[in-house]
Amino acid sequence: MSELKNDRYLRALLKQPVDATPVWMMRQAGRYLPEYRALRAEAGDFMSLCKNAELACEVTLQPLRRFPLDAAILFSDILTIPDAMGLGLHFETGEGPRFERPIMDMRDVVNLPIPDPEQELGYVMNAVRTIRRELKGEVPLIGFSGSPWTLATYMVEGGSSKTFGKIKKMAFAEPEILHMLLDKLADSVILYLNAQIKAGAQSVMIFDTWGGILTPRDYREFSLGYMDKIVAGLIREYDGRKVPVTLFTKNGGMWLEAMAATGCDALGLDWTIDIADAKARVGDKVALQGNMDPAMLHASPERIRQEVQKILDGFGQGSGHVFNLGHGITPDVDPENAGAFINSVHELSRLYHL
């Protein structure tokens, strides 16, 4: 087993005692950091950063040089899988992701290959291996993937969407096509995450950014069912250590019990749910990650500290909490405020672990 200097994040996910509440930030490497913008400008475009292991490693480490974060997260994107399936991904400046060949019909789904993680996605595994080497055991490395449903929204819509009209039409008018797509994506995600674990990811997180746009019944049928399949297919112990799995459905606060029943180790919470309520509902089964509103990072350091205190108080005494934002940090945040957030968590949380 490789030694870790700081394993608070892994311990909290497994509800083992910690000295302070661990903290990391979704999208902690990114455009709010001037050093990221500089490297991104040099690389040309976002996917060139992802596909170069040295650059992806450098960007992953940038926030850790500034802040005492308790985990690193692989610098990559959820859309690497659809890209590897041949949909032709490109990022248009200011517009977000676009696919040249979106999924339209059954034939497109039947023809879709399941990518080999060490071939088409070998650049991601190289990034994981490089980051693990450069982290030198300081903190654990988080691997990740999108949920099948969230990936399918981009693949069917052809990019980001506000209304999700195309994918909902497929779900309601041609559900057999969507189910075949989701099943292929679940198989691809299992291979992809297991390869990340073998390459060195010490925990994995599944981002279901768009599960919360569904009715409770449709969430179970089109999103949760496939995350359940993934959790059952993942390597849960590697290199002598448990590999915790975190599920995050944005706007999924209504469904925590069903999410916990997948057998995952932790649930990511957005800011629309009170962490005390979440703990009362599922705290005996899973650890919780979250859940400060990312927009709070625009307030003063004093106000941020008060909010951190309220969330720590909501979770209460003991382990099982990984502090985070309820969604990604936005590009317009002052890095100073991110630092104030992280320091507040470490300073104020010690009292909850006596």
Query: Binding site for substrate: what residues are annotated?
Result: 27-31, 77, 154, 209, 327
CA angle 15, 20, 21 (to 5 degrees): 60
Q: With contact defined as beta carbons under 8 Å apart, do 230 and 252 qualify?
A: no
Measure Cα distances from 256 to 32, 144, 146, 252 in Å: 31, 20, 18, 7
Indicate if 77 belongs to the active site: yes
Indicate if 187 belongs to the active site: no
Task: Report the residue number, 144 or 271, with the smaller CB distance to ligand 1CP.
Answer: 144
Indicate if 31 belongs to the active site: yes
Three-class secondary structure assignment of 263-274: CCCEEECCCCCC
Q: Is residue 31 a contact residue for ligand 1CP (CB under 6 A)?
A: yes
The residues in 169-208 that bind ligand 1CP, with binding defined as CB under 6 A, are 207
Q: What is the CA radius of gyration of the chain?
A: 19
What's the closest the beta carbon of residue 26 comes to ligand 1CP, in angstroms? 5
The position carrying tokens 């034939």 is 107
What's the closest the beta carbon of residue 313 comes to ligand 1CP, in angstroms? 27
Binding mask 76-105 for ligand 1CP (x = CB under 6 A): -xxx----------------xx--------
Q: Is residue 73 a contact residue for ligand 1CP (CB under 6 A)?
A: yes
The residues in 298-337 that bind ligand 1CP, with binding defined as CB under 6 A, are 328
Measure Cα distances from 212 to 208, 218, 250, 274 in Å: 8, 10, 6, 17
For 326, phi then psi, to 5°, come to -75, -15
Query: According to CB under 6 A, which one of 4, 14, 16, 27 is a site residue for ligand 1CP?
Result: 27
Q: Is residue 209 a contact residue for ligand 1CP (CB under 6 A)?
A: yes
Q: Which residues pair with 206 in a beta bridge?
A: 145, 247
Query: According to CB under 6 A, which one of 18, 20, 23, 28 is a site residue for ligand 1CP?
Result: 28
Q: Is residue 246 a contact residue for ligand 1CP (CB under 6 A)?
A: no
Q: Is residue 67 a contact residue for ligand 1CP (CB under 6 A)?
A: no
Task: Report the residue number, 208 or 307, with the smaller CB distance to ligand 1CP.
Answer: 208
Query: According to CB under 6 A, which one of 8, 40, 51, 132 is a site residue for ligand 1CP?
Result: 40
Out of 32, 154, 219, 226, the active site residue is 154
Lookup: tokens for 259 = 């999410």
The size of the interface with ligand 1CP (CB under 6 A), counted in residues, is 20
What's the closest the beta carbon of residue 99 comes to ligand 1CP, in angstroms? 12
Indicate if 27 belongs to the active site: yes
CA angle 98, 259, 144 (to 5 degrees): 40
Element (H, E) at 238: strand 237-238
Rounded to whole angstroms, the Cα distance separating 353 from 11 reads 13
Helix 301-315, helix 335-349: angle, nearest 10: 40
Lookup: tokens for 261 = 């029943």
Rounded to whole angstroms, the Cα distance separating 322 from 32 reads 22
Out of 7, 77, 83, 208, the active site residue is 77
Out of 40, 70, 192, 226, the active site residue is 40
Q: Where are the alpha helices (DSSP H) in 272-334?
A: 275-282, 301-315
Residues near ligand 1CP (CB under 6 A) are 26-31, 40, 46, 73, 75, 77-79, 96-97, 144, 160, 207, 209, 328
Catalytic residue set: 27, 31, 40, 77, 154
